[in-house]
Structure 1
């Protein structure tokens, strides 16, 4: 969870890695799938960098999207600044038979030689982790791509829960203090991520940005909104007694506002679909 606090509302769901994963559902995999759909199928013999690999969402999609005999010829390296994430990545690679290794590495300072990879993907990375809006990370991706190599990066242009937690914050907090997790505005314009890729070294004419919808099944809606407010609702100054006192009111607002969003749908099995919008930038070195 972003920010820090000495007070925790009694209703809060603890910000553990397991609970963050429950919040995300398969969103990272769906984001990777939408992004990889914007390039031609990855050919046999590809040497692939999964940059900011996390638990391996992009690697999973890459491997599962190819015929087994093609996927077996890939050489995939997943890197992440989090040692814990890399340990999970390695465990999954071994258990699932991925042709992959995991290394702890900062995306802004890769230790690979120049011109190592045929493909480099940063899935849900540029807008949350690297410095300088991801320009330094893209420079490293450019450096380590072979001539003719393919870059894939992405960002969210619209997130269904964002306006809902803003509205709950305004309505339930004295002064209307907004949550720490509050803005994707400058990433919403496709031209912005294109400018990051260009600043990273890619020729403007080689860059393409596609805006695509992404639908995620978030499971039980009430449980999901509890996770959303617990993990995304904390204000910059930390949780307060007022947040505890108005917890149920805030949740009711989050639920009401999310139900208004385009694409919101409750299925026959009781689970819920929400819609996000992503910008996918691809480029050739």
Structure 2
């Protein structure tokens, strides 16, 4: 089939286009909040620390690290942010320059780090382990273990539950022929704390040195109508792509997402029309 004859993807006219800006709007400050609740589980970062922000994105974890440090400590540390996405690293570098971070950004695969053995005192993977590395993250953890100094600290996290998954599934079942479910599955396997603990152990850390800590964070998702339209636009697409029936039943599907999310115990509507959602979080720390 020639390129000109290839069927064009169908996009419902009501959907918000999936751009980096719309995904950033969907995430809000969730990356920073996730980093903050995770960082609180380890001792304060000391002077002279050499930190690896693995899967750095645009710098959520580095932002929180820098905000947590007194000026004299901040002036003595170094941070290396790495990400497989060149666009993310470009954003990280720009943010580092504008914020005067003691940080550099490098394009690098988490499964194959180019650093020498025993380079870092701290290795952080904020919202990293469940979104990119192959082999269920074991290879990435092996690399984090290799590049940590003896006595160094590993910090990983994942979500213990995703509040919007079931509302999206219900909207899919009730508005689509055959009840076709969304392609997005919220990385559901990661909600089991024993999984990430077993991956850290398989990556080379001693079982006795691993701590699994259940936590939670609150995220204000903004204007509720806008936020739920974003959720359905970014997460509701069925396997195989959007269909014309999705456009026809768009309003019905979004209304279901709104209704069902409001009924979860983690949800709270605020007086200003925005909504706050509580997210369970699993934090794992380990010492080499």
| Separation (CA, whole Å) in 2 of partners of 1:5 and 1:50 | 39
Whole-Å separation in 2 of the counterparts to 1:130 and 1:9 = 32
Contact 2:266 2:277 in 1 (8 A): yes
Aligned to 1:202: 205
2:260 maps to 1:272: no
The Cα shift of 1:263 comes to 2.6
The answer for the alignment partner of 2:180 in structure 1 is 177
Contact 2:162 2:186 in 1 (8 A): no
Instruction: Give 2:234's aligned residue.
Output: 231
Where 2:145 maps in the other structure, the secondary structure is helix
2:194 paired residue among 188, 191, 194: 191
- 1:19 corresponds to which residue? 22
TM-score, structure 2 normalization: 0.96
Structure 2 match to 1:9: 12
How far apart are 1:5 and its partner, in Å? 7.2
Deviations 1:179-201 (A, max 9, x none): 11114332112111100100000
Unaligned runs of 5+ in 2: 1-6
The 8 Å contact of residues 49 and 77 in structure 2, kept in 1 or not, is answered as yes
Shift of 1:270: 2.1
Structure 1: 5+ residue runs without aligned partners?
none
Aligned pairs (5 A) from 1:50-199? 50-199=53-202
Instruction: State how 1:37-56 maps to structure 2 within 5 Å.
Output: 37-56=40-59
Deviation string 1:226-256 (CA, Å, 9 cap, x unpaired) is 1100001111110000100000000000000
In the alignment, structure 1 residue 255 sits paired with structure 2 residue 271: no
C-alpha displacement of 1:141: 0.2
Give the TM-score, by structure 1 length: 0.97
Secondary structure of 2:160's aligned partner: strand
TM-superposed CA distance for 1:77, in Å, is 0.2
3-state secondary structure, aligned to 2:205: coil
| Number of corresponding residues | 282
Instruction: Report SS of the residue matched to 1:50.
Output: strand
Give 1:30's match in structure 2, choosing from 28, 33, 40.
Answer: 33
Aligned equivalent of 2:246: 243
- Are 1:117 and 1:144, in contact at CA under 8 Å, matched by a contact in 2? yes
**SS across alignment from 1:163:** helix
| Aligned residues of 1:9 and 1:241 also touching (Cα < 8 A) | yes
Deviation at 1:211, TM superposition (A): 0.9
Distance 1:164 1:65 in 2: 36
CA deviation vs aligned residue, 1:241-282 (integer Å, no higher than 9, x gap): 010000000000000011011131122222210011111100
Q: For residues 107-136 of structure 1, what are the alpha-carbon distances to aligned partners after superposition, in whole Å with 9 as ceiling and x for unaligned?
A: 000000000000000010111111011111
Kindly report the root-mean-square deviation, in angstroms, between the aligned alpha carbons of the 2 structures: 1.1
Between stretches 209-218 and 177-186, larger displacement belongs to: 177-186
Which residue in the other structure is 2:4 paired with?
Answer: none
